[in-house]
Amino acid sequence: MQQDYPVVKDLVLIGGGHAHALVAQMWAMKPLPGVRLTLINPGPAAPYTGMLPGLIAGHYARDEIMIDLVRLARHAGARVILDRVTGLNRDRREVQLSGRPPISYDVASLDIGIASDLPDLPGYAEHAVAAKPLGGYAEAWQAFVARAIPAPQIVVVGAGVGGVELALASQHRLGGQAKVTLLEQGDLALPGIGSGARRALLAHLARASVTLLTSARPAQILPDAVILADGRHLPSDFTLAVAGSRPQAWLAQTGLDLHEGFISVSNTMQSSDPMIFAAGDCAHLGFSPRPKAGVYAVRAAPVLFDNLRAALLNSPMRAYKPQRDYLKLISTGHKSAVADKWRLPLDGAWLWRLKDRIDRKFMAMFADYPAMPRPLPAPALPGLIEAMGDKPLCGGCGAKLGASDLSAALASLPAPQRPEVISGPGDDAAVLAVPGGVQVITTDHLRAFTADARLMARIAAIHATGDIWAMGAAPQVALAQITLPTLSPEKGTQMLAEIMDEAAQVFHKAGADVVGGHTSVGAELTIGFTVTGLASRAITKAGACPGDVLILTKPIGSGTIMAAEMAMARLPGLILGEAVATALARMSQPNGPTAAVLAPHATAMTDVTGFGLAGHLLEILDASGCAATLRLDAIPTLPGALDLAAAGHASSLAPANRAATIGRVTGPDSPAKALLYDPQTAGGLLAAVPAPLAETLLKSLPGATAIGTITTGQPRITLI
């Protein structure tokens, strides 16, 4: 992940709302050299508001309405951090996060949306769902629909435009057997639109048999009912709140000027702190108040983009002039819509088609990103293009030398001469005799595949320690070797501090100390660690016996997923950012606890890393003089990995891994087989254990799977 200019300032976008998505899109086209862009959001994807009712009604698939923030961040050259913001320290210019230490900003912008929950309503938190944030509602609704409850009953609290849209969408999705009840606390539903549009929507509610109750105030939410203040009992299998808007509570602690809890901004989109901007529903346009509507965030995005750059450059800013009114297209469940603008109503299927066109045009901006051309010299030396490969070099273990090339390079290495060296090259770690047992030592370095240095440090520390755990040893000490990208002195100090802090946490939890290291500055971030460990005996790759069961402790496919992320891949039905988030989460899980369970019983063990599952299993088989049979359908894979492999995505190291196993892996080609050659960063442990112990061990290893058995014969893998 090479950068062209030193980082001297940080621009942080807090929240993945529509305005920030468009700002990131514009940043990709016009970045500001020397600025590191960071996007923080709790999830890897954000729903587009305009298409949510269509998703609820069943007209759209989930991936059609989601903006993939991870793909967008890659396109924009941005660091993406998947966490929830809990506050701002304006004195230190830090963004406080729920799951990790703060990050610094020079200029920040908030687009964090609003909530529609009812925290003071008894039983709400346990038994109801809020329409906002939209992502959680969409997931809860999909899970509810999948339950296929006969004659389901739905209660929607709040009969504004959003409540009516979602009530009609729910009724359409569930069909005539469903009963949907819409509650309005006041005596008039749809108070914010023209009378003609209101009449049209009330007629749609009546035709859809949606029950509208006015002057109906909920008093309690039960698991299967809503109790009204007048004592009425409304059965409910799914209770939804669309009642008004509520700002996120932490804004009250920022010291910014607020209006009813929302951030007051000027016509330049600046808050009372000129280095903090806000847009979307979390902002109050004090200079020209407007209702909470996504259209204002979309229209404000170009002004916000220009003014964020202006704040960084100390240059003049633009003024945002929101339109007085806008065309409201309100979907009615089936593929029809009601329009409201200047109090003139329109109704019909043609309005749905217009709305659908508008919404799909917006989402198309986040569909396909142009690939950056790879510069080729003219004339090109013979062999240059072949050496470059057909895709950019991957990060992590995907950037390593192939097994055959590595073996050839090490062939002339002299045998160890010191008597305390029990084994050197060839196993996961070198083994040295020490009083009372053995000491193991290993080193590993990773080319960064994420711009989040703290996350990269965690994964690199876990990855380097994997060889120690694979040998059945307890980590002892670690030395760091870090190449930082070019940064200003202040930013360089910050990055090194967060890398070392995160690594120290990983090693400390593993029982090891960080005792020093070395740093340098280069073209891109590379993080490595040399680690030692102590054991009474070392578990090597030799020792597997016919009949042993092979246990794999983590799913495979991370190399393919991260290669697809580099390529900003897009597949129908797959939200790549969610696959990436899951892969990163699994890479962030240490193997120490699983090693503690397996080490006392394993006859052979290794960790699955750069050479892929097939390559590392063959190392066990070569050392043990055995063969293996794998059940291909039993091998766990990360979500999205099989689909990406089927579409032809693979790590840049995968071809070399496959070539190193030619003739030694039998079975028909398939996406699942392709993943056997996929390099894994911070992959799981692969252990051979006696068959009588396998079932008991698996009960103590959540997520681990028995994938095959050791057999007699020449070292080779048979797939069944």
Q: Which residues are catalytic?
A: 397
With left for phi above 0 and alpha for psi between -120 and 50, is residue 34 left, alpha or beta?
left
Helix (H) or strand (E) segment spanning residue 104: strand 103-104
Question: What CA–CA distances, in Å, run from 434 to 442, 468, 533, 719?
Answer: 16, 16, 11, 41
Helices (runs of H) and strands (runs of E) counted in the chain: 22, 37
| Cα 405 to Cα 374: distance, rounded to the nearest angstrom | 25
3-state secondary structure 473-501: CEEEEEEEEEEECCECHHHHHHHHHHHHH
Closest residue by Cα to residue 130 from 15, 219, 245: 245
Question: What CA–CA distances, in Å, run from 705 to 611, 685, 719?
Answer: 20, 11, 16
| Cα 502 to Cα 450: distance, rounded to the nearest angstrom | 15
Q: Residue 103 — φ and ψ, nearest 5°?
A: -120, 155
Whether the link from the prior residue into 133 is cis, omega within 30° of 0, is: yes
| Cα 576 to Cα 643: distance, rounded to the nearest angstrom | 11
| Cα 634 to Cα 641: distance, rounded to the nearest angstrom | 15
DSSP 115: B
Closest residue by Cα to residue 650 from 581, 710, 564: 564
β-pairing, 437-447 with 430-434? antiparallel
Contact 470, 606 (CB under 8 A): yes
> What is the DSSP annotation of 8-66?
-EEEEEES--HHHHHHHHHHHHS--TTEEEEEEESSSEEE-GGGHHHHHHTSS-HHHHE
| Cα 507 to Cα 501: distance, rounded to the nearest angstrom | 10
CA 305 to chain centre: 25
What are the residues whose beta carbons fall under 8 Å from the beta carbon of 413, sequence distance 6 or more? 424, 425
> What is the DSSP annotation of 388-447?
H-SSPPPSBGGGSPPHHHHHHHHTTPPPP-STTEEE-BTBSSEEEEETTEEEEEEEEEEE
Strand order from edge to edge, sheet including 430-434 = 421-423, 430-434, 437-447, 526-535, 474-484, 513-521
Tokens found for residue 348: 């019909």
| Cα 461 to Cα 312: distance, rounded to the nearest angstrom | 35
Other C-beta atoms lying within 10 Å of the C-beta of residue 443 = 15
| Cα 274 to Cα 265: distance, rounded to the nearest angstrom | 10
Contact 676, 664 (CB under 8 A): no
β-pairing, 153-157 with 45-47? unpaired
